[in-house]
Structure 1
Amino acid sequence: MALVATAEVCDANPHLIQTGELRALQPIFQIYGRRQVFSGPVVTVKVFEDNVLIREFLEEKGNGQVLVVDGGGSLRCAILGGNPVQQAQNNGWAGIVVNGCIRDVDEINGCDIGVRALASHPMKANKKGMGEKHVPVTIAGTRICDGEWLYADTDGILVSKAELSMTRALHRAEFIIWPHHKTGFTF
């Protein structure tokens, strides 16, 4: 899977943004983990101050997927810690986006996986198993569904209804730029 620059994707695809096929999450996430750039098909889970369902997902093979966790934006405890992130790395997950808090930041920052979360918090979550898997979630003002694609880098996070073809995106950018190359126009 090719790495995608989110800013370039936005510049090359205004039509996808206008139709809602490509959406940007609000810039509220902190960057954790060694992998600052990641992408993959989305799997969703909705929980509130409980991490049992998150752990269940990350114990499974990730196959390059991105787990999107709607933790309700709670800042009262961490719903993801170092052990499940290490497991996610070992099981082939591309990344995890958490609408909530994490903990064990030093441990997570040593893992070769991309993690985005609102903040860190030292308190652990409940373990009641409450929540829902594979349901549409709304995170940072953006509705996200299973099977959509998520692209994250240091500029932000994009969600697309389908996998983006960088060849198509770059061709479109060249189509826009090419007429201006002889005029000395700069971008």
Structure 2
Amino acid sequence: MALVTTAEVCDTNPQLIGSGELRALQPIFQVYGRRQIFSGPVVTLKAYEDNVLIREFLEEKALRCAILGGNPVVRAQNNGWAGIVVNGCIRDVDEINGCDIGVRALASHPMKANRKGVGEKHVPITVGGTRISDGEWLYADTDGILISRTEASV
């Protein structure tokens, strides 16, 4: 699908908004990275202040969307990721902003994450009151982030 804006997706799919199949995340995310617009299937990971599983995830190729810093983001970019949404903080913002990848996070913070390897992959998560499941579609631009149960058409 060609890159489309979140406003276009909302304007052409009011029935999906009404049914809850298309949901907008609360406007709590900051925009990082050079790629302003990205979309693709969601891959979920639930971890609390632990980045071991996140780093492993970002080493996988051909994934599109997922407490990380610059090195993992560079690795994700090199592996063909379009973007990453983190319901938490990131670090190494200058390095991330130099990457050709879209990153959305709550804020930046200088402290490193834990490295215990605790977390769950491919499980439903809740971000800002919105439930997101593995395999749903994410659309992000400077207006916000949308989640859709299926690939949206415009």
TM over 0.5: same fold?
Answer: yes
Give deviations 1:45-73, integer Å, cap 9, x for gaps.
00000000000000110x25101xxxxxx
Q: TM-score, normalised by structure 2?
A: 0.98
Determine the structure 2 residue equivalent to 1:24: 24
Identity across matched positions, percent: 82
Higher CA-based Rg: 1
Aligned partner of 1:159: which letter?
I
Q: TM-score, normalised by structure 1?
A: 0.81
Report matched runs for 1:109-120 at 5 Å: 109-120=97-108
Determine the structure 2 residue equivalent to 1:66: 65
After the TM superposition, list the runs of 4 or more consecutive aligned residues in structure 1 that deviate by more than 4 angstroms.
Answer: none
SS in 1 for 2:57: helix
Bigger helix fraction: 1
Please tell me whether residue 97 in structure 1 is matched to residue 85 in structure 2. yes
Aligned partner of 2:41: which letter?
P
Aligned partner of 2:97: which letter?
N
Aligned partner of 1:81: which letter?
G
Report matched runs for 1:44-83 at 5 Å: 44-61=44-61, 63-67=62-66, 79-83=67-71
Aligned partner of 1:137: which letter?
I
Residue ranges of structure 2 left out of the alignment (5+ in a row)? none
Please tell me whether residue 150 in structure 1 is matched to residue 138 in structure 2. yes
Aligned residues: 154
Determine the C-alpha separation between the residues in 2 that align with 1:115 and 1:87.
13
Determine the C-alpha separation between the residues in 1 that align with 2:77 and 2:59.
10
Q: Tell me which of the two structures has the higher relative contact order, counting C-alpha pairs closer than 8 angstroms and 6 or more residues apart.
A: 2
SS in 1 for 2:44: strand
Please tell me whether residue 8 in structure 1 is matched to residue 31 in structure 2. no
